[in-house]
Chains A and B, each alone.
Chain A
Amino acid sequence: MRRITFLLLCLFIGIGLSAQTRVSGTVFSAEDGQPVIGAAVVVKGTTTGTVTDYDGKFQLTTPAGAKLLVVSFMGMETQEVDVKPTINVRLMPHSESLDEVIVVAFGTVTKEAFTGSAATISSKSIDMRPIANAAKALEGVAAGVQVGMTSGQPGAGPEVRIRGFGSINASNDPLYVVDGVAYAGTLANLNPDDIESITVLKDAASSALYGSRAANGVVVITTKRGKSGRTTFDVKVNQGVSVRGIREYDRVGTMEYVPLQWEAMRNALVTGGASREAASLQASADIMGTKGLNNNPFNVAAGQVMRTDGTLNADASLLYNDFDWNDAISRTGYRGEYNISGSGGTDKADFFFSVGYLDEKGYVIRSDFNRFTARVNANIQPKKWFKAGVNVAGTVSTSTTTTASLDDISSYANPFYFARNIGPIYPIHQHNSDGSYVLDANGNRMYEWDHRGAGASAGRHIIAETQWNDNKNDRNVISTRLYSEVTFLPGLKLTINGGLNIDNLLVGAFENAEVGNGAPSGRSRRDNRKRTELNFNQLLSYNKSFGKHSMDLMAGHESYEYQWERFYGMKQGLVIDGNDELINFTTINSLWSFTDRYTTEGYLFRGNYNFDNRYYLSASYRRDGSSKFAHNVRWGNFWSLGGSWRIDREKFFEAKWVDMLKLRASYGQVGNDAGISYYAWQSLYNISNNGTESGFVQDMSKGNDKLEWESSNSLDIALEFGLFNRRLNGAFEFFDRRSSNLLFSVPLPTSSGVSNQYQNIGSMFNRGIELQLDGDIVRSKNFIWNMNVNATFLKNEITKLPQEEIVSGTKKLMVGKGIYDFWLRTYMGVNDQNGAAIYRYDDARTAAADVAKSYEYKGQMVTEDPNVAKFEYHGSSIPKVYGGLTNTFVYKNLSLSVLMTYGIGGQTYDRGYATLMEGVNSYGSAMHVDMNNRWQQPGDQTNVPRLDASKAVFFSATSSRWLTNSSYLALKNASLSYDLPKSVCRFVDLSAIRVFASGENLFLLSKRRGLNPQESFNGLTNNQYLPSRIGTVGVNVTF
């Protein structure tokens, strides 16, 4: 079994000189009987020691007088054994190690001395999962971390929120730090197999040294490095398939659909004053023609399809059944992953290298992700006082994407929007009047896009456009870390870190000349986006111990420069088919470039103090400047204080069954300037030429030279414990994050001609409780069942606003309300006499013309006109509680891990459903089966209004009607692995062989089929690329 070790231990190990006793032995795991590779064996009270080799063996010469050896290994109970010539040690596993090291801001700290709040995800939880983007591994495994499931596009990553939502208009994304340096790129650039650990820093004490960028928490990613005395070579191959993870909404079929559309037309004519008879006649005449559905797939004439009683002509049968657009855009996806890595080291140098290749084809046609990664991490210590190292990683990826992304939710080119909403009478291919396929000169079927109703993406064709267009992303990333460390007095050292990330993305898009946005002449574009991040920091640190006191101090300086360069060109007029290079087009549509720069600079200080390993104190301070603010207000001060108390180490504390009991608390202030314009303080004019005359036009956002940091003051109190011989571990934690001085995009009157201005107004808190429990339910010789459960209860509330209320889309911000509280018209159901949708009337409207639009219905004042309907609060999108549950079963060499996530409470505004239920706003859109419950005649009791094309806008207005409870339970991942017995490995001269199977998004329980309740934090669903269900099998061989 592969073990994880941290090299840091080894650094303190020297080689003893005065040989007295030769000791040799083997360290085994009590858990599985396998040798433990890399366990530290140290003579107690000295720095003399060694680590075990890949057979778990060690040899050591102990100095005179040595009585005890301390044997330790990450993830296992440390043992002390008597010195004797031959020793066999069996280490017991435990889930929380005292020696565990946590990666924090600018350094590491032992978990024991840590006064802040953090969660660590080890490579073990990422190892087998078929994920291209490591951010997905954050879901469900740590309390306080909420992960949205944004997209199933291969390579796409989710949005992450740590302890709620600290900002309204600025960014809520955490800061990502990779190997000590801020990282603005996508985590898909990292090979998850290169990751040693991911640490989520949740409170101010742990993140304050990132100062101005830490308000939303920090995700610290550390990549692997070589381990002293352990040379390994690892090969991992993974093969799998993927399918759509969430099924389509239930929609009506062709034979139900046409009568429904007819009814909408008939009722619209009746509403317009026609008699029911005349309206029925006209609807039957018009429904299949250009005024209606504009396609007749039946074997009878268009005017004969619908009888005037609203039923389908009994003689009508389909000429063809060519309507399954979802099937046509889908395929069985494929996933292949290949990783090799090697590592090794001595006490003076270590290295790690890896090469990985990922080939992922999404379940939607023409969506894929190919990634090639390579990394080298080498560290040396040529002199006792000097260390240096370099960590260089390169990534080359290509990805073909669909437009099913957040910013393109309802475009005709979005396959999910298109396939979901096209009525089930529109064929994919052209058909002759006898129903047979129209064939081109080469005998191929031809696509059909002209006979469509207005609501059926008229003139567009998602299959043709997806196949004939191209939208590819070529990315080259290089990421470099370089450090050197000089110890120039005992305990006093200077570390210089440099980091450079260059992410060069070329988006190449081609749109064909036949159909879609590129028609009629074809067009192509190239969009080069280059991101350069340069980071330097200089850290001076000092540590000192005397008696029971120990302390370390650090001071430093950091500078960060971010540069964003765009170069964009688009041309139309395709010359020769099959070549999408710009030179093959005739006319320039667009050609521009620009460069943005953003810089920050900070000075930082930290002090940690520890008395007798019982009392820990830490304090930090950082002063930061940002180029986003005007020079006289750009500097902000950030700080934190933290302390912890090991109650179990007090003399008075005697409960034997308590192994660890720690109370800790922290308070501090961190900041945020992310998510606003790089030049937010400046009032700008954008270049906007009039023909060839130079021109400038006001930016819609007004500058503000008083704008400054948004800040977040957070309090964290926690009780951590380990009980019953570490069989049950856990933590209860309370947090209170108060954001103030919010960077608020204050909407300005539309009549001012500008739309908004950033101002520091507003306060908000995110308060909650986190629970984390981890226990071995069964812990026997051959079988272990471990359960890890976490839950986060979150309350978000606004405490101050720039104006009394701010309405923004489906939300209204108000003091006392949350950031994502829905503010919607109140849907009152359907008037059972006329079938109209009714809304609560806004009683503040007293004008006679308005009052005339209201009436009393069953004791309530209602209206059929949404323009005079009353808006009210209707709950929040934030779940009451969310979290995850991991069950791990280990039986001998067989291991099964099952991760489930859940959310309870919260509302989703289900736009997918709303679109399918909007009635008939324009003919030809698909309909949900719930439309069968529509009102049809006086007396019908239903929640679905009558179908009426002239009223659909009113009947389907944005309202509480479209809210759905978002509670869900998901089976995110299950991984099964089997380690071949050591005897077999030895037989083929390998260290370890593991075979495994893993599946993602295996199961989802939600209120409505089709709904993805995790799609967004604000509770609005879009027509996004739904998550993939992936199944893989793999083998991992260690030399």
Chain B
Amino acid sequence: MKIAKHIVLALCLLGGSSCSSDFLETVPTDAYSETTILSNVENAKSALNGIHRAMYAQYDTQNQAGYSSVMIYNDMLGEDLVNTAQGNGWWIGEYRWQNHRNVNGSSNFHVYRFFYKLISNANMILAQIDDLPGDDATRKQVKGEALAYRGMAHFWLVQFYANRYSASNKSMLGVPLMLTPTTAPQPRATIDQVYQQVLIDLNEAEQLVVPKPNSGYNKSHFTQSSVKGILSRVYLAMEDWSNAALKANEARTAFEGTLMSSTQYKTGFSDAANPEWMWASIMIPDQTVYFYSYFAYMTYNFNSSNIRTNPKAINSTLYGKIAATDVRKWCWEPAPTAENFPLPLTTFLRFPFMNRKFAVKDAGSSVGDIPNMRLSEMYLNEAEAKARAGASAEAQQILHEFVVVRDPAYTKSTATGDALINEIMTHRRVELWGEGFRFTDLKRLNLPLDRENANHSSTITANLMSVPAGDNQWLFLFPQSEVNTNPFVAENQNP
């Protein structure tokens, strides 16, 4: 008996033997440690790709689909985009200028969190990239693109959360400048400091990134032309016309693509293969963002409640300015009927001036590529900068080069001064409708919002029909999450 007992005892001890020394070491299978990712240049390139993805990923709520939601937001705040009905309610608070004036606004929070997330991911790369082992050409490109993101993101933030750049404003407070990967709260830098840093980052990026895409890169990656394009946007905002014109010119001449043909213009703005697209987010089917998608709000043919019940229309006054021979006139329908404006299902509503500019490739899916920058904008930036600098002849020429592609009947403008500027701005509004330019254009130019005398319904806008230039309402309020965690911002919230 005793022997049996001891054998059983021994077996028990063996069977229940304690754990090996690495029993308590566990790692995830869907994530990697920071040290693994930032261990060499190749992996750092993947961390950069993560930023490209963040540009079109979905965040908390349906109005938070990366960069494309910022684009929608920028136009929702303007006068050129018209909500034809309340639809299912998405974007109406933004359209009414309520969301960005509400510290708890979800779109407001998205803009802030999204751009700082890009910055943080870029800073992680920038803090270490110089010391990582690996190929130098790749290192240059990764560093350049990270800098481009950091510059672009700060640029967007300062446009929304601070006053416009001007001689009298530039010493006012801008936004926190984040240049290292820190979690310590940072004070609001001045508007000028932010813009100067944006220029430093973008200028360095311009030197580092490849002139033309490497084989294997898609248009989500920066090249010299797209970085120059962002620089031209920055200089426009700074009213530095000569540099704005210069960078826009360099961008369009460096770019290997061409302006779209009239046929290509009618293909829906959802495919990055378009020769005019300079910078894009490219989504594949298993990365769909469902009803968060840009195309779930902006197209005419995706079967979302929002589009069925609230198709987006163009400001009727602006529409009236488009020449009949201009291909862009096709993009909107003043009197849509079943005949002239077929829709996928009878449950889609029709409203005057609704758009067919944006279309999904497949009505069953909201997957599509996002046009972050197109070549036509470079012509418009350059023409505008030249015109504002007084170089009317050059401006007329550049404008003509571009518009004649859209409207073969177009004859070169003879206007000068404000008349020429207005003509350019009208083409800009028509050309870039829905692509995220209007609010920041109004703000940088110190223009009022004016939705009167067009097809805006005061019921849907909740009477937000006009806002004077320079009003506090042009400032986004810092979101509550930042106020709660950053004492510098809490003390200096926008009025």
Contact = CB atoms under 8 A, between A and B. Distances in A.
B457 A688 contact: no
Contacts of A699: 31
Nearest to B217: A693
Nearest to A692: B284
B329 interface: no
Contact of B185 (A385, A517, A598, A751): A751
B1 A849 contact: no
A679 B53 contact: no
B23 A601 contact: yes
A592 interface: yes
B172 to A, nearest CB: 14
Contacts of B86: 290-291, 294, 453-455, 458, 922-923
A631 B182 contact: no
Interface stretch (A106-114, A341-349, A708-716, A742-750): A742-750
B290 to A, nearest CB: 7
Contacts of A595: 29
B75 to A, nearest CB: 19
Nearest to B15: A496
B57 A696 contact: no
Contact of A685 (B31, B176, B183, B306): B31
B244 to A, nearest CB: 28
A204 interface: no
A778 interface: no
A450 B43 CA distance: 49
B320 interface: no
Contact of A682 (B8, B33, B186): B33
A536 interface: yes
Interface in B37-51: 37, 43, 46-51
A496 B16 contact: yes
A712 B284 CA distance: 49
Contacts of B458: 269, 272, 274
Interface in B326-377: 344-345, 347, 349, 351, 363-365
Interface stretch (A221-229, A582-590, A721-729): A582-590
A273 B464 CA distance: 11
Contacts of B218: 691, 693
Given A458-B88, A807-B480, A754 B183 contact: yes
Interface stretch (B118-126, B252-260, B432-440): B118-126
Contacts of A274: 458
B462 A950 contact: yes
Interface stretch (B95-103, B382-390, B416-424): B95-103
A533 B398 CA distance: 70
Given A291-B86, A690-B50, A695-B53, A538 B459 contact: no
B52 interface: yes
A491 interface: no
A265 B459 contact: yes
B365 A521 contact: yes
Contacts of A683: 33-34
A686 B113 contact: no
Nearest to B462: A950
Interface size class of A (residues with CB under 8 A): 35 or more
A724 to B, nearest CB: 50
Contact of A486 (B12, B15, B118): B12
Given A265-B459, A498-B16, A867 B101 contact: yes
B495 A847 contact: yes
A688 B8 contact: no
Contacts of A454: 85-89, 92, 309-310
B486 interface: yes
Nearest to A686: B31
B287 A689 contact: yes
Interface in A408-463: 449-450, 452-455, 457-460
A656 interface: no
B37 A685 contact: yes
A750 B112 contact: yes
Given A272-B458, A383-B1, A685-B47, A747 B484 contact: yes
Given A498-B16, A538-B12, A678-B26, A688 B54 contact: yes
A697 B121 contact: yes
Contact of A458 (B9, B103, B305): B305
Contact of A292 (B284, B459, B486): B459
Q: Main SS of chain A's interface residues?
A: mixed
A800 interface: no
A10 B436 CA distance: 81
A75 interface: no
A867 B31 contact: no
B299 interface: no
Nearest to A563: B26
Contact of B102 (A807, A850, A953): A953
A601 B18 contact: yes
Contacts of A634: 24
B364 A521 contact: yes
Contact of A557 (B1, B18, B175, B181): B18
Given A496-B16, A690-B50, A694-B46, A752 B89 contact: no
A167 B365 CA distance: 43
B485 interface: yes
A590 B1 contact: no
Contacts of A294: 85-86, 309
Contacts of B87: 454, 458
B92 A953 contact: no
A236 B73 CA distance: 62
Contacts of B26: 596-599, 627, 678-679
B486 A751 contact: yes
A457 B23 CA distance: 51
Contacts of A185: none
A273 B466 CA distance: 12
Contact of B9 (A282, A494, A686): A494
B135 interface: no
Interface in B270-325: 282-288, 290-291, 302-306, 308-310
Interface string B455-486: 00111101101000000100001011110111
A679 B27 CA distance: 7
B121 A698 contact: yes
A458 B348 CA distance: 12
Given A450-B308, A459-B305, A599-B23, A753 B484 contact: no
Q: Which one of A484, A850, A923 has the highest number of Cβ atoms from chain B below 10 Å of its Cβ? A: A484
B120 A698 contact: yes
B178 to A, nearest CB: 6
A599 B24 contact: yes
B282 A588 contact: no
A594 B29 contact: yes
A229 B335 CA distance: 90
Given A697-B121, A698-B34, 10 more contacts: A268-B463, A269-B458, A286-B457, A450-B347, A458-B87, A747-B484, A806-B484, A849-B472, A949-B462, A953-B98
10 contacts: A282-B459, A291-B86, A634-B24, A692-B284, A695-B47, A697-B121, A698-B124, A747-B485, A754-B183, A953-B98
Interface of B: 1, 4-6, 8-9, 12-13, 15-16, 18-19, 23-34, 36-37, 43, 46-54, 57, 84-89, 92-93, 96, 98, 101-104, 109, 112-113, 116-121, 123-124, 175-176, 178, 181-186, 218, 220, 282-288, 290-291, 302-306, 308-310, 344-345, 347, 349, 351, 363-365, 457-460, 462-463, 465, 472, 477, 479-482, 484-486, 489, 495
Give me the 10 closest cross-chain CB pairs, A-B, nearest first: A753-B120, A459-B305, A272-B463, A454-B86, A521-B364, A695-B49, A520-B303, A697-B50, A849-B495, A950-B462
Interface of A: 265, 268-269, 271-274, 282, 286, 290-292, 294, 383, 385-386, 449-450, 452-455, 457-460, 484, 486, 488, 494, 496, 498, 517, 519-521, 536-538, 557, 559, 561, 572-573, 587-592, 594-601, 625-627, 631, 634, 678-679, 682-700, 702-703, 747-755, 757, 806-807, 847, 849-850, 867, 922-923, 949-950, 953, 958
